[in-house]
Amino acid sequence: MHGALRNHTDQDPEYPLLPYGKDAKRSLLAKAIFKKDGVKRVSFLPMVIDKRYRPEVLRKSDPRFDDMVRYMEWASEGFEHRFSVDGDEVVITG
């Protein structure tokens, strides 16, 4: 037994090859911009894994974008941070 059964998570039947629960299809693409004296900006692009197991970047106009930002807020509770949306990117400060 492995994956969802071993970890007691709700497996998404539409994603049988992602055995770690419904949130296993969530992803992000991290982005960091550096300058000579340090970090200039850190952000991420929210992503999901589509039903053909390919990464899909979510655009701000997609309702899943806001859901992903809320999920990341929940997942990062307790860390000093602030998220702000700039176009299709979520900028992290703090």
- In order along its 94 residues, the chain shows pLDDT tens digits of 444 455 556 777 787 777 777 888 899 999 999 999 999 999 999 999 998 899 999 999 999 999 999 999 999 999 999 999 999 999 999 8
Asked if residue 45 belongs to a domain, the reply is yes
Whether the pTM exceeds 0.85: the reply is no
The span from the CA of 12 to the CA of 50, in Å, is: 12
Q: Say how many domains are in the chain.
A: 1
Rounded CA gap, 90 and 72, in Å?
Answer: 10
Asked if residue 11 belongs to a domain, the reply is: no
- Domain range spanning residue 29? 22-93
